[in-house]
Amino acid sequence: MSKNYFFLFLLAGMLVSGCGPKGSDDKSHLFLAPVDAVKIDTVRSLKVECFLLETVEASFTGYVDMYADTIYYIDSRFCWVFRYDKEGKLIDRKLGMGRGPGEIISGVIHGYARLSDGSWFFVGSTNDGYIFNRHFIQKKSFFFDKGKSNELSYENPQSYTLQYYNLKMKEYAGTLYYNVYAQKKGLDYFSNRVLYYNDMRLFSQMDLATGKVNKMIGRYSPFHDGNKNLKLFCDSYFDIDQQGNFYVTFDADSMVYSYDKDYKARYSTGFQGKKMNTRYPVISTVNDYKQHYYDRDKYGHYSQICYIDETGLMFRSYFRAEYQPYDGLQIYKGAAMIGDVDVPKGFKIIGYTSPYYYGYCGIDEENENITICRFKL
């Protein structure tokens, strides 16, 4: 028997005997019909002001965020945290690589979360987590505890890796949520696209007191069931409000899905963004994926979802296409979309300090600057 025939025979036997990837229950209850979704053109355009953060010596890789009236630039390579006032003036620099007080030994910062008590959570490249207080003094460190099960299952935390290239981390009530994808052979996209889109979980739920991953939650929306060749555009994005409600969207799906703190469906809404190039390439093989890997910016896709607790508004950023002069920003109040407006390329919301909403347009590594934008509603 040739190796190819033996492999097919073995795989068929695994599926029949139940030794292959485990399926799961129906997911339809997670996606409600958008019965209350309406468009109300309250916001038709934005007057956007832009300015640069004060220049610093840094790697110009990492993350930009805002809490209260302070803007943060987290340098992922050098592990520095720069703090700026709301006008972009440098306040100080915290953290940095090392073993001394107020330093971190992760070697790199691959993700972070600001915790509800003002502390910070940082993650390195080996599932190593660190909690620092608001003064950037380390409180504890641990490795993520994903259990020891070797079961080939989408419910097993061991089957997943962090979505490092687009990692979002958010805490609610002592639990850290972050986006993941299945990487184990037999559970990955190219092993079985039907199972992948039907059964893969999207987010890990970790107890920050113990570092234990307790549960895998979230599923791909029904949109993906009929679009199984969209490997290049199957990332998920989420945010959590102060009541623990989730807001979830995907690269190519025009819908937004909201869930309560127990991940029970609240409502669905959403409208296609303007001027989006949605002629997506078909990805059916690993070679297809490699060929088109750097083509994402040629096509329209949603790129962030952000809920502002202070005003009760939800924002969804989207990329139109590289040849379009502007990107788009949708504004929702509950299930109603109250605006779909032009914004600078790469724009994402980072926070609110009355009377301005703040965002940024990416980190320009080549020119070594970071552009902050703000607007009023």
pLDDT in tens, 50-102: 999 999 999 999 999 999 999 999 999 999 999 999 999 999 999 999 999 89
- Percent of the chain predicted with pLDDT > 90: 89
At 32 the pLDDT is 93
Strand pairing report for 313-319 and 169-172: unpaired
- Percent of the chain predicted with pLDDT > 70: 93
Whether 5 has a pLDDT exceeding 80, the answer reads: no
Least confident of 4-8, 17-21, 38-42: 4-8
Distances (CA, A) of 257 to 153, 262, 266, 268: 25, 14, 8, 5
At 23 the pLDDT is 57
Whether 104 has a pLDDT exceeding 90, the answer reads: yes
At 263 the pLDDT is 97
At 41 the pLDDT is 87
Nearest to 213 by CA among 262, 158, 173, 164: 158
Answer yes or no: are the C-beta atoms of 247 and 152 closer than 8 Å. no
Instruction: Enter the DSSP assignment of 278.
Output: -
Place of tokens 């592990």: 79
Answer yes or no: are the C-beta atoms of 235 and 257 closer than 8 Å. no
Split at pLDDT 50, 70, 90, the class of 26 is confident
Sign of CA dihedral 157, 161, 166, 172: positive
For all residues of the chain together, what is the average pLDDT?
92
Split at pLDDT 50, 70, 90, the class of 20 is low
Token reading at 113:
């979360």
Quote the CA–CA distance of 255 and 240 in Å, as a whole number.
17
Whether 7 has a pLDDT exceeding 60, the answer reads: no
Predicted TM-score of the model (pTM): 0.92
